[in-house]
Amino acid sequence: MLTADYEIVKAAQEIDAAFWPVGLQIARGWTADGEWFELRAGIEAKRQDFVNVARTRLAPAGPPLRRLTGRPSDDDCIWELRRSYFSPSGSAEQQA
């Protein structure tokens, strides 16, 4: 149980509420690999809302955060799935 200002608790509950449908979809196998970013976006938005609410209630006023983490954006090439082949007996160059 979270003991805090009403708005902070409400924002925390909204994060929790965003997790449930995503978790159930994943557990039931109702998601495809490419859907993760879309599913995660709602949770991340609620998380950012929570941080901004907490900041306004617990700290001196400041501008709302536009970005919560240093995580690369969803369209960054780091997220492209690439499969690598690893030979049990060494690299392909060693076998040639």
Q: Supply the pTM of this predicted model.
A: 0.62
Give the single-character DSSP code of 90.
S
**Residue 66 three-state SS:** coil
Q: What is the predicted pLDDT for the residue at 38?
A: 87
Plot region of 90 (φ>0 → left; ψ -120 to 50 → alpha; else → beta): left
What is the mean pLDDT of the segment spanning 32-49? 87
pLDDT given for residue 46 in this prediction: 93
Map out the domains of the chain as residue ranges. 1-67
**% of the chain beyond a pLDDT of 70:** 80
- Report whether pLDDT(49) > 90: yes
